Amino acid sequence: MLNLTPKEIADRKALTINPCKTCQPVGALYCALGVHKCMPHSHGSQGCVSYHRTFLTRHFKEPAIASTSSFTEGASVFGGGSNLKTGMKNVFDIYNPDIIAVHTTCLSETIGDDVGSYIMDFDMPEGKLAVHTNTPSYVGSHVTGFYNMMSGFIKYLAESTGTKNGKVGIFPGFVNPGDIRELKRLAGLMEMPYIMFPDQSGVMDSPMTGNYEMYPKGGTTIEEITALGDAKHVLALGMFTSTEPANVLDRKCKVPYDVLPLPMGIEGTDELLMKMAQLSGTEIPQALEDERGQLVDVMLDAHFYHHGKKVAIFGDPDTVLGLTALVLEMGMIPKYVVTGTPGEGFEIKAKEMFAKFGMEGCKAKAAADLFDLHQWIKNESVDLLIGSSYGKQIAKAEEIPFVRAGFPVLDRYAHSYFPIVGYKGALRLVELITNALLDHFDRTCADEDVDVVL
Amino acid sequence: MSELKILEERKSFIQYGKNQSDGCGSLQCDSDSLSGAVSQRACVYCGARVVLNPITDAFHIVHGPIGCASYTWDIRGSLSSGSELFRNSFSTDLSEQDVVFGGEKKLGKAIEELVAKETPKVIFVYATCIVGVIGDDVDAVCKEAEAKYGIRVIPVKSPGFSGNKSYGYRMACDAIMTLIRPHTGPKKARSVNILGDFNLAGEMWIIQNYMKEIGIEVVSTITGDASYESLIKAPTASLNLVQCAGSMTYLAKQMESEMNIPFVKVSFFGIEDTSASILRVAEAVGTQENVNRAKALIRREEAKLKGFLESRIPRLTGKRAAIYVGGGFKAISLIRQFNAMGIKTVVVGTQTGKPEDYEIIGTLVDDDAVILDDANPTELELFMREKGADILVGGVKERPLAYKLGVAFCDHNHERKHALAGYEGVINFTNEINSSMNSPVWQYLQVPEFLTEEGEHE
C-alpha cells in the first residue's frame, strides 16, 4: 500500500524524496534546551518554532519550549531587528530565563539580519544574558545547527582565566538524555571531573511531579560553559557533531581536544574509557571491565543469529557510524549506510570501517534521502533496518525487521531514557537487534519451525 | 505558581465568560502572535499544508530549504481509500547556491524529474518563506510546467511570515479553486460536498455513510480522502457542508459566488451537533423522504448511545474541562459535548477562532470561564490551575504540558487515533476522556510520605 517506490533508479538532482535530515534551527533549539534556565529563541516566522517544538515533543514526549520573533510581512522587508528586541524583552519579562539563545532561520538569514549587533544594542536586564548563532536552513542539516549553537554559546561565554580548573569538557553530540546520563556515569566511574555540554538530561526526561517546570533542574549551567575556557581538555564525541565547537573553544581559550567517535560498540567505548583513564589518571575499574565482559558474552551467545546478516542503517552521521561499528563487531554486514546530512567525510569514514572488517559491496552515501535507500533495498534487500521512525514505511513495504535508533523516534515510548552509548548502550542495542530478528522469524516461520528455545 | 505572569499586550486576548464590562466587550483575535511569546500557533505554510495534504493522489512539492518538507512528512493522520502518494515527502531542498542564484531552475527540474518517473494529475508547489525573498517566480514555473506536461501544477503561496495560519487556509482554498474552477457542470440534485473534514481516523467515511443512508450523494470530499478526479466534480454539487469552518468558510464563500453553491455550517462532533447537522442537510437539499430517513437514523443512533452514556456519565459528571483547539467551531462542539456529559468547561481557547465563534462560546460557558485566543503554555497552565481543570483537550504540544500538571488529556488534533466524529465518535471520545481521567497511574503522582525525606527522619 505504502509501497510506491519504483525499483528502477533514475538520476535525481533537484528533487528530494523522503528526506533523511531536517533543517538547522531544530538542532540549535535542542542544543539550547541542554543549557539550564535557557530560553531558545527562533528568529524567524512563527511556524518554524512551532514545527521544531512539535518535532521534539513527539520524540521525547515532553514539553519543548522556545520563543519566536514572529516575523510579519513588514519584518521580512525592513528587517527583524525590532521583532527581536520586542521578543527578547517579552521573554525576559514573562518567562524570566537566565539566558536567551537566539538562532536564525532561512528567512532572517536571507534578508540579512545582523543578529549579533541586535543583541549588542539590546538593553539587557541586569544579570541576564543572550547568545546567538547563525543557522541558515539551506546549509547542512539539523546536526549543523546543533553544533553551531554550541559554538555560539562558547564564543559568547567561555572564558580562560589562565588557571586550569582540572575538568574535562565532554561534548556528547546529538544524543538522547539517556546517553548523556550514561556518559556521566562512565565519567563518574572513571573519577574524571567533567563539564557536560550540552546536557539535556534532567530537561527532556524530567520526572512527573504534578508541576510543570518551564526550566527543569537539568542542563549545563552558564558558569559551567564559562568554565569550559579553563578546562584542561575536551572530549569531542562524534567527529561530525563535536569537532567544530571543540575547535572554536581551542581557538578562543587554548583548550586541547580529542575527537572520538560516538562511543558505540566495544571499540568505541574502549577508546573513550582509555582516553578518560589517561586524563584522570585512574585505572579502568573492575565494574566496567565486567560490563564489557557481559556485553561480549551476550554477543557470543547470540552470534549465530547475527553473523552475515545484512543491515541498512540511516540517520545522523555520527550515530550511523556508531551503529555501523557495532553491527560490524557483531558480524553483520552494513550493506547500506546512509545520512541525509551533506559532507564528504562521512562516506570516507564509512568505507574505512568497511575495509577494516574486510567488507565488500557495502554502500555509503551522504546527502542521501530515504527514497535512495528504499530503491537500493528494492534492488538488493537486507535482513534488518536501523534508523528513525521514518524507516517504518520501508520496513513494512519490504517486510524487514526494524530497530529504531537516532532522531526522530516518534512512534515509540521511553526510548530516550535508555542509552545506545557505552557497553550498556551496546548491550541494549544487541538485545533490540536480536529481538527484532527473532520476533520476525517467530511471526513469519512455518508452524513446524516454531521453537520455544532459540 | 504565583510567579506566572500574563503580558499586558496579551490581556485583550483573554476574557472571562461573555460580554465583559470593560467597554470594548469583545475578545481580540485573528491577529498575529506577539514577538517573544511561546505561541502554540503555526504559520501560513502550515495552514496551507494541512488543508491540502489529504489530497491523496497529489504530489506536494515543498519549494524551500528541507525543514518545511521534513516537518510535514506524513504527520497528518488522514486516511486514504485509494492512493497513498500524499504520504511521501517531495522537496527542492534549496541549498546556499540556490539561495544566491535563485531556485526557479531547481524547481523546474524537480517537476521534470517527477513527471519523468510518475504520472501525476496534479502537483501542488508550496512557496515557503524565502522563495519570494530570493525572487523566484513560482507562478511562472508552474504555468510553464502545466503547458509543457499537460497536467495541473498549482502554486500555493505560503511564505510563513505573510500572515497567520488562517491566512494559509485561504491560500489552500485559492489553490483548490484554481484546480476546480474549469470544471463547472450541471448541478446534481440532492448532492453535497463535505468541506473541512480531513478524514482523521476515518471520520470522513463516517459522515459519508450517514449521507448515503439518508439518500444524499456526496460528490466531493474536501479534502479528506480526496483525489483529483473526485475534486474536479465539486462544482456539480448543490450544497456545501462546512465542517471545519475555520479553514473552509472562505472556500465555501468563493464557491457560492462563483459556482452558485450555497453552504451550511455543520459539525459532526457530539450527539447534539451530529443529529442537528444530519437533519439540516436532509432539509436543505433533500425531499421529505430524505428527511424521514434522517430522522430514523437519528432516532436509532441516539437510542443506541443512551445506554452507553448512562453507564459512563456517573464517572464523568462534575469534572472540569479545558479546551485548546484550532478552530472556534470545534471548540463549540466540544463544549456542548462536555455539557452533555455533565462536565463543565472552565477554560476554552482557540488558535484561529473568529469573533462570532467567541460570541457563541461566551453563551455556552459559565460567566467565570476563561476564554482566550492564541494561548501560550504559561497562560494555559495558569488558567488550568486557577480553574482546577481535570482534563485538557488539545493538540500535540499541549499533551505533555497537561500531563506535567497532573491533568488528563485527549488529542482532538492530528494525533487522534480513534474517530471522534459522528455517533461512533461520541463513544470513542467518551472512552478516551474516561480512560485518561480515570487511569490508575494518576494516583502515583503523589509521592508517599515514607519515601520523602521527612518520612525517612521519622
Cα-based torsion angle of the residue sequence A229, A235, A239, A243 in order, rounded to the nearest 10 degrees:
10
Least confident of A107-111, A411-415, B338-342: B338-342
Query: Could you tell me if residue A403 is inside a domain?
Result: yes
Write out the H or E segment, with its range, that includes residue A183: helix A177-189
Q: Would the pLDDT of A209 be above 90? A: no
In angstroms, rounded to a whole number, what is the distance separating the alpha carbons of residues B192 and B210? Answer: 12
Minimum-distance CB partner of B129 among A8, A45, A94: A45
Contact A87 B35 (CB under 8 A): yes
User: Does residue A294 sit in the same domain as residue A421?
Assistant: yes
pLDDT in the model for residue B25:
44
User: Does residue A150 sit in the same domain as residue A181?
Assistant: no
Whether A250 and chain B come into contact, CB under 8 Å, resolves to no
Whether A9 and chain B come into contact, CB under 8 Å, resolves to no
- Give the Cβ contact number of residue A396 at 10 Å: 13
Residues in A closer than 8 angstroms to B405, CB to CB, are: 210-212
User: Does residue A443 sit in the same domain as residue A297?
Assistant: yes
The pLDDT tens digits for A53-82 are: 999 999 999 999 999 999 888 888 889 999
Over residues A297-320, the mean pLDDT reads: 98
DSSP A273: H
pLDDT in the model for residue A74:
86
Query: Could you tell me if residue A13 is inside a domain?
Result: no
User: Does residue A247 sit in the same domain as residue A112?
Assistant: no
Sorted by where each starts, the structural domains of chain B and their CATH numbers stand as: 1-30+317-416 (3.40.50.1980), 44-182 (3.40.50.1980), 184-296 (3.40.50.1980)
pLDDT in the model for residue B26:
57
CB A426 within 8 Å of CB A266: yes
Compare all CA atoms of chain A with the CA of B73 and give the residue at the minimum distance.
A18
pLDDT in the model for residue A48:
94
Query: Could you tell me if residue A8 is inside a domain?
Result: no
Domain boundary among A285, A314, A347: A285
Q: Which of A105, A103, A107, A142 is closest to A119 using CA atoms?
A: A103
Q: At what angle do helices B328-341 and B288-316 cross, to 10 degrees?
A: 60
Residues in B closer than 8 angstroms to A45, CB to CB, are: 43-44, 129, 159-161
pLDDT in the model for residue B163:
86
pLDDT in the model for residue B16:
76
Q: How far is CA A21 from the centre of its chain?
A: 12
- What residues make up the domain containing A368? 289-449
pLDDT in the model for residue B425:
95
Whether A15 and chain B come into contact, CB under 8 Å, resolves to yes
Query: Could you tell me if residue A4 is inside a domain?
Result: no
Whether A22 and chain B come into contact, CB under 8 Å, resolves to yes
- Which of A91, A106, A139, A416 to probe by mutation at the B interface, max B CB count within 10 Å? A106
User: Does residue A300 sit in the same domain as residue A443?
Assistant: yes
Contact A6 B117 (CB under 8 A): yes
pLDDT in the model for residue B183:
94
DSSP for B263-279 reads EEE---SSHHHHHHHHH
Counted domains in chain A: 3
User: Does residue A120 sit in the same domain as residue A263?
Assistant: no
Write out the H or E segment, with its range, that includes residue A272: helix A265-280
Query: Could you tell me if residue A357 is inside a domain?
Result: yes
Contact A211 B113 (CB under 8 A): no
Contact A17 B89 (CB under 8 A): yes
pLDDT in the model for residue A344:
87
Over residues A277-297, the mean pLDDT reads: 98
Compare all CA atoms of chain B with the CA of A22 and give the residue at the minimum distance.
B67
User: Does residue A148 sit in the same domain as residue A208?
Assistant: no
Whether A207 and chain B come into contact, CB under 8 Å, resolves to no
Residues 273-312 of A with CB under 8 A from B: none
User: Does residue A220 sit in the same domain as residue A244?
Assistant: yes
Q: Would the pLDDT of A340 be above 90? A: yes
Contact B129 A107 (CB under 8 A): yes
Mean pLDDT, chain A, whole residue set: 96
Residues in B closer than 8 angstroms to A90, CB to CB, are: 7, 9, 34-37
Minimum-distance CB partner of B33 among A15, A62, A70: A70
Domain boundary among A257, A285, A313: A285
In angstroms, rounded to a whole number, what is the distance separating the alpha carbons of residues B139 and B151? Answer: 15
Query: Could you tell me if residue A162 is inside a domain?
Result: no
Contact B5 A70 (CB under 8 A): no
Whether A62 and chain B come into contact, CB under 8 Å, resolves to yes
User: Does residue A251 sit in the same domain as residue A192?
Assistant: yes
Q: Which of B432, B381, B385, B382 is closest to B411 using CA atoms?
A: B432
**CA separation, residue B16 to residues A171, B25, B368 (Å):** 49, 11, 5
**CA separation, residue B240 to residues B94, B142, B265, B281, B418 (Å):** 39, 29, 8, 9, 26
- Give the Cβ contact number of residue A314 at 10 Å: 27
Strands (E), B48-140: 59-63, 90-91, 122-127
User: Does residue A36 sit in the same domain as residue A69?
Assistant: yes
Residues in A closer than 8 angstroms to B446, CB to CB, are: 210
Query: Could you tell me if residue A7 is inside a domain?
Result: no
User: Does residue A358 sit in the same domain as residue A411?
Assistant: yes
pLDDT in the model for residue B2:
39
The pLDDT tens digits for B205-259 are: 999 999 999 999 999 999 999 999 999 999 999 999 999 777 899 999 999 999 9
Q: Would the pLDDT of A2 be above 80? A: no
The pLDDT tens digits for B253-302 are: 999 999 999 999 999 999 999 999 999 999 999 999 999 999 999 999 99
B246: Cβ–Cβ under 8 A, 6 or more apart, which residues? B166, B169, B196, B326, B327, B328, B329, B330, B350, B352, B353, B354
Residues in B closer than 8 angstroms to A136, CB to CB, are: 65, 96, 99
A138: Cβ–Cβ under 8 A, 6 or more apart, which residues? A106, A109, B65, B94, B95, B96, B98, B99, B130
Query: Could you tell me if residue A126 is inside a domain?
Result: yes
- Give the Cβ contact number of residue B458 at 10 Å: 7
Whether A56 and chain B come into contact, CB under 8 Å, resolves to no
Domain boundary among A285, A317, A338: A285
User: Does residue A296 sit in the same domain as residue A271?
Assistant: no
The CATH number covering residue A95 comes to 3.40.50.1980
Residues 105-134 of A with CB under 8 A from B: 105-107, 110-111
Instruction: Pick out chain B residues at pLDDT < 70.
Output: 1-7, 18-33, 40, 452-458
Residues in B closer than 8 angstroms to A106, CB to CB, are: 64-65, 67, 99, 128-130
Residues in B closer than 8 angstroms to A213, CB to CB, are: 404
The pLDDT tens digits for A140-164 are: 999 999 999 999 999 999 999 999 9
Contact B92 A14 (CB under 8 A): yes
